[in-house]
Amino acid sequence: MMHWNVTYNDPNRWKEVHAICGPKWPWMDAMRQTLKGRPLGSPKLDLVGLEGLSDLQSMRDDLTHRTPVNFQRTQGGVMAFTKVRLEVYAIPIRRQELELLRIAPSETSATLATLTLEFKREGHSVRILMEGTKSMVNRMESWFRHGLHEQTSD
């Protein structure tokens, strides 16, 4: 499975999610990471599209409002969180599954940029398309590159 509804605090569901992307950082280690300039939580961007997660994308198709997406670093990767109506969905991603992180100018506005994240699990490719101001997209890209490449070098 590629995404989970984590709206309700079901410990078995969280076990499944963390089995993929690794456990949460212990509280004190999380504080140390933040003090070193590698916060566990990312900035928020607008989720523009999900390729490879058609059932989650189809739930979003009827929405008339923007859907945010943000990420949280875990000990083995990251977890994307997005909200569809009143439900929160998590997309766990192992560090080694990440294949592409790319910034491009927005097609809709000169002040916006898009960030594309691609990952592959068991031959299944997923592309997460996000949009925000250029500065927010740059912050998100830096959050990914800085946090994921250095988190094991402590």
**Contacts of 1-10 spanning 24+ positions with Cβ under 8 A:** 2/52, 2/53, 2/91, 2/121, 2/124, 2/126, 3/53, 3/56, 3/89, 3/90, 3/91, 4/89, 4/90, 4/92, 5/87, 5/88, 5/89, 6/81, 6/88, 6/89, 6/90, 7/86, 7/87, 7/88
Q: Taking the model in full, what pTM does it have?
A: 0.89
Residue pLDDT, tens place only, 18-37 = 999 999 999 999 999 889 88
Q: Residue for token digits 């500065």? A: 135
pLDDT at residue 152 greater than cutoff 60: no
Mean pLDDT of 12-16: 94
- 3-state percent helix, strand, coil for the chain, nearest multiple of 5: 30, 40, 30
Q: Parse the chain into domains and list their residue ranges.
A: 4-150
Residue pLDDT, tens place only, 97-123 = 999 999 998 888 889 999 999 999 989
Domain at 4-150: CATH code: 2.30.29.30
pLDDT at residue 39 greater than cutoff 60: yes
